[in-house]
Amino acid sequence: MSRIRDKILDYFIRSESTGDKGSEVLDKELSEDPAFDMDEFVKYEKIWNASSDLKEFRKADVDVALSAVEARIDTPQTSVRVIPMWQKWSAAAMIVIVLGFGFYRWFVSDRYVTYEAIVAESIVLPDSSIAHLGRGATLRYLKPGYFSGAEVREFYLTGDGTFEVRKDSSKLFSVMSDHTAVDALGTIFHYEARDKYSSTRSIEGRIRFRSRFGHFDHQHLTAGDGASFDAETKTMVPYMMDEVSVVGNLVVSKMTVNDLLLIMRDEFPGEFVVDQTADLRPEVVIQVNLDQELPDIISALQESDQMDFSYDEEGGIYTITRLLAEDQGWVADYTYEMYQNDVDFNHLSE
């Protein structure tokens, strides 16, 4: 409020509280002020006379009245900030968005199960299919109540897993990752998805490997066929049955060193051990024909150009002391989980 309007307001308050409408106040306080405008004074006077809001302040000293107001609001001065309407609507919209997002997160997360395999383990899925998950893998899917009503048996995988799919021709079984997906109706397949890399191999039956964003044509894979995709380079590489190494009429399985040692430990109890100080590269994928006797497997590992292998043998017990393999960029098609679930070594043979 301007200085002259303050004076006019003060004039009206004093006049109302004292009943004095004398001209001296007007002459001294207002008329002599260079900023005084009689038209403006008349306008404010009409507004004042039309108002009945100050009845309770009659015969009250203006200083006392102002002190009472200040005491009630507990501050000597106040100011009112008028918020533009667009800001009010923006704030309201933001509240709606936040509440809506919170409800969406609650609604969606409440419908899903996220299973994390702390160790390699197998779980039964809502449709009675079985997922053999590698250590650290996570699998996300609808809770049973929602799963049964869905049109597709859909899962989201991070890590690696082997899936034994219960046949249901009416509902596609689909496992997705960030960039690719594997579709099946009833079969066994292995799928790995880590960051921008994913790969799959059909173990039994037929599967479809596809890009979720159209980066490559769908790959229809039968038993023994596989494919991989690198989202960084947008490169898809198929590898078919005739490209897999064969020993006699057996396909040589590809597996990590760690899985090989676990399988041999279980397959030949009391005959095969790994020295506690053995020098190993456990995550490197090697190829080996496991459908042999232990001495033949040991001999094949020792003769392989891919690895530096050594062992001790005493009393028919083989103790592994060194297995350092060179990484050939192979993708495992057989795992310890598959072995535990009785998937045969010869699962890729024709």
pLDDT in tens, 80-116: 556 666 565 666 666 656 565 555 554 545 799 999 9
Residue 32 confidence (pLDDT) above 50? yes
Q: Where does the pLDDT of residue 199 fall: very low under 50, low under 70, confident under 90, or very high at 90 and above?
A: very high
Which candidate, 144, 227, 135, places its Cα nearest to that of 181? Answer: 227
What is the token pair recorded at 159?
């890590």
| Tens of pLDDT, residues 120-145 | 889 999 999 999 998 899 999 999 98
Query: What is the four-CA torsion angle of 148, 151, 156, 160, rounded to 10 degrees?
Result: 80
Query: What is the four-CA torsion angle of 5, 7, 8, 13, rounded to 10 degrees?
Result: 120
Residue 285 confidence (pLDDT) above 60? yes
Q: Where does the pLDDT of residue 247 fall: very low under 50, low under 70, confident under 90, or very high at 90 and above?
A: very low
Residue 209 in contact with residue 240, Cβ under 8 Å? no
The boundaries of every CATH 3.55.50 domain in the chain are 249-340
Residue 210 confidence (pLDDT) above 90? yes
Q: What is the pLDDT of residue 217?
A: 92
Q: What is the pLDDT of residue 132?
A: 93
Query: What is this structure's pTM?
Result: 0.46
3-state SS, residue 33: coil
Tell me what the mean pLDDT of segment 15-28 comes to: 55
Separation between Cα atoms, residue 44 and residue 31, nearest integer Å = 15
Q: What is the pLDDT of residue 245?
A: 47
Q: What is the pLDDT of residue 241?
A: 56
Q: What is the pLDDT of residue 16?
A: 60
Separation between Cα atoms, residue 268 and residue 260, nearest integer Å = 12
Higher pLDDT, 38 or 27: 38
Q: What is the pLDDT of residue 209?
A: 96
Residue 184 confidence (pLDDT) above 80? yes
Q: Which range, of 170-184, 284-298, 331-345, averages the lowest pLDDT?
A: 331-345
Q: Where does the pLDDT of residue 341 fall: very low under 50, low under 70, confident under 90, or very high at 90 and above?
A: confident
Q: What is the pLDDT of residue 70?
A: 60
Q: What is the pLDDT of residue 173?
A: 96
- Name the fold adopted by 249-340: Phage tail protein beta-alpha-beta fold (3.55.50)
Which run of H or E residues covers position 265?
helix 257-267
> How long, in residues, is the chain?
350
Q: Is 2.60.120.1440 the CATH number for 112-243?
A: yes
The boundaries of every CATH 2.60.120.1440 domain in the chain are 112-243
Which run of H or E residues covers position 320?
strand 317-325
